[in-house]
Chains A and B, each alone.
Chain A
Amino acid sequence: MKIHLHLFGILVSAAFFATLPNSAMAEPQVLVTIGSMQVTSDDLNAALASSPFATQSASMDEDDQAGLRGDMLRRLVAARLLTLEALRQGLDKTGGYKLDMENFRLGLLYRFYMDKLRERIVIPADTLAAMKQQFNGDPDGLNAAKAAYVAVQFKTLKLATLQNLLKLDHTRLHEDRIKEGPKANTVLMEGDSFRIRYADIVDPKEHAVPPNPEWVKEQLYNRGELLLVAMAADKEGVDVSDKLKQYQNERLPAVMLEAKTKEWIPDEKTLQEWFAKHPEVAIVPERRHVGQMVVGTRKEAEYLRARIIKGESLFTLAGEFSIDPVGRKQKGDMGWIVEGRGMPELNSALSGLEDGQISEVIETKEGFHLLTILEREPGGKKPYIEVRNRIRQIVINEALRPYLGELERRYKVSWRVIKNT
């Protein structure tokens, strides 16, 4: 989601952002404090590295890089503001949020345990030697062979581990109860330290009709495996608190925004009313594939126009005579131009042209133009349903801006960005 933010009273030096080195700074610098929270240079670098601009930013000019870093920093500050407000409102105490966090914690523990299990697999020296001989000089082939070997061993090891965990916890499975029409509290699997009820794996809100028993069985197995492995990791003292905290920092702003969005857009009518007031949002302008040549005098333009009408190609002549360097290089092909864009005189002339017709000579400050339209994509008006999501985003953005201003006044935002002189 693109958040446009206005945090006032900020003088951020573009040079500072642009000159932060690629390599991690020795000590992370606190860039902004927001109430009890902060954004450091490490936070900013990590956010940039995981953003869609990660690759693109390296080749940007310094000013653009500075702009990107500044924009990203504002987003991080906005996220912290939303987090603080979510905590103030106790959104982290709701059942849904707690369940979300617990499921994420279980997932982290599961992944950690499985990764450790995989790391225990060692390719025996003689097997490795045979592989190296077979794939001599072919590192990709060797890697594929190693991966295939580890995958087979991991499957066996995982199965053995699960069997052991099931046995140690005296796990019992009540598959027969799935077909008997289970109730929300019907226990489908249980062990010494866990119990899975029907409601744990089937949310009645998502299933008006009882789901297929086979699907339920699969969910049950998945849940059982997740719980057993996560419990085993827990017993071994695996600490996932850092990653959980990181997830909380990402999740709480989203939860806060979801809550506010329900307030700003309580129903579909809100969006429909906004659409009624702003019908232009659905208008799609015509797109035209335009050919053009520009020359220095009207006389020359009239002469060339006559040659084109007699059968010569505007594009061939543009490549030879156009005084516009780009146009000459592209032999008059100006690509697809959206109706309403560009010089008004040219736009006006294009509006009256049929496909393939050569325009009259048009005078602008650039010279004397001849235009033609090769093909066009007609414009029109999109139905509400096609612009609904866009409208929703606009409404959120419009409400978010003043809301963040309000939060800034509630929580002290202190910018510690030092101007690089």
Chain B
Amino acid sequence: MICAAVLAETALAGAQFPQSGPAAVAPQGVTATIPSNTLSPKAADESKRKPFTLTGLDGVKHSLSDWKGKVVVLNFWATWCSPCLYEIRDFVVYQKKYKARGLQIVGLGLDDERRLRNVQRTLEMNYPVLIADPVDNSGLMEQWGNRSGVLPYTVVIDRDGRMAYIHRGKMDRDIFDQYVLPLLDKV
């Protein structure tokens, strides 16, 4: 809002839009409070795929080895989670666009089968959805590093089966471009 000082100003030169800001570094007070979203190099070295076998909405039992050699985006979601549904719409686009380059998105639906199936139909999901009923799979997310249980939660696994990146919350396009796309180029 206009402050009194501005209104009281009597002799102002015509304001110019600054072409660039002062040569500043990142503001203070940000680094200490924001936890790292990616794996540390050491953790990445030690992180291998956590094994699981879950039934998909296609009725077939799946494990991560089904997509060996691909860049797997393992997305934990639930039908009641609004950001998850927005993110799924993006994932459908990515899967269609980058499938030929080796992208494999896999949804881990933490919900009952009927609801998952309805979302799959409504959002026209073009990638596998595994049924991870939260009652029977309470420890699954924790095993994949999500102790707080936040959704959506996404683990990116490179072609060698190593966890390359973890994202909490909705994955935006720039994050996908920065952390997933480069992995597709590594054959």
Which residues of chain A have a CB within 8 Å of any CB of chain B?
21-23, 54-62, 65, 120-124, 126-127, 130-131, 134-135, 137-141, 144-145, 148-149, 152-153, 156-157, 159-164, 166-167, 171, 173, 175, 217-218, 221-222, 224-225
Chain A residues whose CB sits within 8 angstroms of the CB of B8 once the complex forms: 173
Q: Is the CB of A127 within 8 A of B34?
A: no
Inside 8 A of A120's CB, which chain B residues have their CB?
A: 17
Which of B67-75, B115-123, B140-148 lies at the binding interface? B115-123
Name B15's contact: one of A122, A163, A173, A218 (CB within 8 Å): A163
Residues of the B chain whose Cβ atoms lie less than 8 Å from the Cβ of A134: 25-26, 31
The answer to whether B6 and A162 have CB atoms under 8 Å apart is yes
Q: Does B59 contact A (CB under 8 A)?
A: no
Contact A163 B21 (CB under 8 A): no
Q: How far is the CB of B32 from chain A (nearest CB, A)?
A: 10
Residue contact A164 to B15, C-beta cutoff 8 Å: yes
Whole-angstrom CA separation of A167 from B8 in the bound complex:
11
Task: Decide: B21 and A139 in contact? CB cutoff 8 A.
Answer: no
| A160–B34 touching, CB < 8 Å | no
* A173 nearest in chain B by CB position: B7
Scan B77-116; emit 1 where CB is below 8 A from any A CB, else 0. 0011110010001000000000000000000000100111
What A residues does B187 contact at CB under 8 A? none
A123's nearest neighbour on chain B, judged by CB, is B21
Q: How many residues of B contact A (CB 8 A)?
A: 49
Which B residues have a C-beta under 8 Å from some C-beta of A?
1-4, 6-9, 12, 14-18, 20-21, 23-27, 30-31, 34-38, 79-82, 85, 89, 111, 114-116, 118-119, 121-124, 167, 174-175, 178-179
Given contacts A61-B114, A157-B18, contact A139 B23 (CB under 8 A): no
A141 touches B27 (CB 8 A): no
**Residue pair B26, A163 in contact (C-beta under 8 Å):** no
Partner of B37, one of A22, A59, A140: A140
- When distances are taken between beta carbons in the complex, the residues of chain A under 8 Å from B12 are 163-164, 166-167
- Asked if residues A59 and B25 are in contact (CB atoms below 8 Å), the reply is no
Contact present for B6 and A59 (CB under 8 Å): no
User: What would be 22 A-B contacts, judged by CB atoms less than 8 Å apart?
Assistant: A58-B79, A59-B111, A59-B116, A59-B122, A121-B21, A122-B20, A127-B21, A127-B25, A134-B25, A138-B34, A138-B37, A139-B178, A140-B35, A141-B31, A148-B26, A149-B24, A152-B21, A163-B6, A164-B14, A164-B15, A167-B14, A225-B1
Partner of B26, one of A124, A145, A157, A221: A145
The prevalent SS among residues of A at the interface is helix
Are A139 and B9 touching (Cβ within 8 A)?
no
What are the residues of chain A within 8 A of B116 when measuring CB–CB?
A: 59
Residues of A within 8 A of B118 (CB): 58-62, 65
Bound complex: CA A140 to CA B33 (Å):
11
Q: Are B85 and A58 in contact (CB under 8 A)?
A: yes
Q: Are A124 and B20 in contact (CB under 8 A)?
A: yes
* Distance to closest chain B CB from A38 (angstroms): 25
Extra A-B contacts (11), CB below 8 Å, given A59-B118, A160-B17:
A22-B123, A54-B82, A59-B115, A60-B118, A138-B38, A157-B17, A160-B16, A162-B2, A175-B4, A221-B3, A224-B7
